[in-house]
Amino acid sequence: AGQLPRPPKTRILTIANQKGGVGKTTTAVNLAAGLALHGLGVLVVDLDPQGNASTALGIDHRAPDIASVYELLLGEVTLAEATQKSPNNDRLLCVPATLDLAGAEIELVSLVARENRLRNALNEDTLRDLDVDYVLIDCPPSLGLLTVNAMVAAKEVLIPIQCEYYALEGVGQLLRNIELVQAHLNPALHVSTVVLTMYDGRTKLADQVADEVRNHFGDKVLKAIIPRSVKVSEAPGFGMTIIEYDPGSRGSMSYLDACRELALRGAAQ
């Protein structure tokens, strides 16, 4: 793989859409693996109690006593202590999620600076120590306090949208939440990127949805479209992303194209 430009500053992207099953986790881990393959340092923060991103990166998030994003949010461990290397790539790091995180949304409510816990953990010093160019935060399928923490910690929001019926359903609510966070907690936050996922070229519907999303979001939508492919969904079962599982597949190539666009846009910013 050729090199991609390093961004001048660590780019922090929140992968958000409160709808479940639209490809948030798949997009987070595959973009991360693709960027790391090009020699960039990438940290995935798994903010979903299911821990699917951790699994796909080959990290055993059910191991007893591992430090996870839960302890990080509570301030019990440092970023470096909560971070593990993916066995698939030295430049690919992950703060895993454990099932403890399921209770965190409620526990966080009573903490000081409850919306800023993740931002405080991901500060300039701790990120410099990890030497990462990108942080990708994989959000749970809700707009609760975990997702708010992700939006406060990031500058960019990346929205995956599934090429299916009701694709834009709920996106209005998501955008209003982003505006609220921007107004009250994080003025720099903006939607920088939209990724179309699970595209099935055999259906007319998929093209209609893609057109509709492009009309709505304009050039925020990446040209690369992620096809629906069984292999993409199989890869996590092997503790891999599609980029390691089947590098030459359409799914892998489309995520690599998406990485290139993302990185080149960042360089121009």
226 touches which of Mg ion, ligand ADP, none (CB within 5 to 8 A by kind)? Answer: ligand ADP
Integer Cα distance of 194 and 17 in angstroms: 11
From 24-32, 111-119, 174-182, 209-217, give the range in contact with ligand ADP by CB under 6 A.
24-32
- Residue 77 CA to residue 109 CA, distance in Å, equals 19
Q: Is 141 in the site for ligand ADP (CB under 6 A)?
A: yes
Binding status of residue 241 toward ligand ADP by CB under 6 A: no
Name the DSSP class of 19. S
Region from 16-24, 58-66, 68-76, 185-193 binding ligand ADP, contact rule CB under 6 A: 16-24
Query: Which of the residues 187 through 216 are near ligand ADP (CB under 6 A)?
Result: 197-198
x/- map, 27-46, Mg ion, by CB under 5 A: --------------------
Contact status: 24 vs Mg ion (CB under 5 A): yes
| Closest distance of CB 99 from ligand ADP, Å | 16
Q: For 80-86, which contacts have Cβ atoms below 8 Å and span 24 or more sequence positions?
A: 80/126, 80/129, 80/130, 82/121, 83/43, 83/130, 84/59, 86/33, 86/36, 86/57, 86/58, 86/59
Segment 41 to 80, residues that bind Mg ion, using CB under 5 A: 48
- How big is the CA angle at 184 (ends 109 and 157), to the nearest 5 degrees? 90
Closest approach of Mg ion to the CB of residue 52, in Å: 5
Letter for the amino acid at 135?
Answer: V
Q: Could you say which of 17, 18, 25, 147 contacts Mg ion (CB under 5 A)?
A: 25
Residue 20 binds what, of Mg ion, ligand ADP, none (CB under 5 to 8 Å, by partner type)?
A: ligand ADP
Question: Read out DSSP for 55-94?
Answer: HHTT--TTSTT---HHHHHHTSS-HHHH-EEETTEEEEEE
As measured in angstroms, the least distance from the Cβ of 233 to Mg ion is 12
147 vs 229 by CB, closer to ligand ADP? 229
Report the candidate in 37, 81, 47, 97 with the shortest Cα–Cα distance to residue 252. 37
Residue 14 binding ligand ADP, by CB under 6 A: no
Using rule CB under 6 A, residue 54 touches ligand ADP = no
- Identify which of residues 78 and 177 has a Cβ nearer to Mg ion in the complex: 177
CB proximity list for 124: less than 8 A, separation 6 or greater: none
CA distance 94 to 51: 11
Among positions 233, 238, 247, 267, the unique one binding ligand ADP when judged by CB under 6 A: 233
Binding site for Mg ion (CB under 5 A): 24-25, 48
Binding site for ligand ADP (CB under 6 A): 20-26, 52, 141, 197-198, 226, 228-229, 232-233, 251
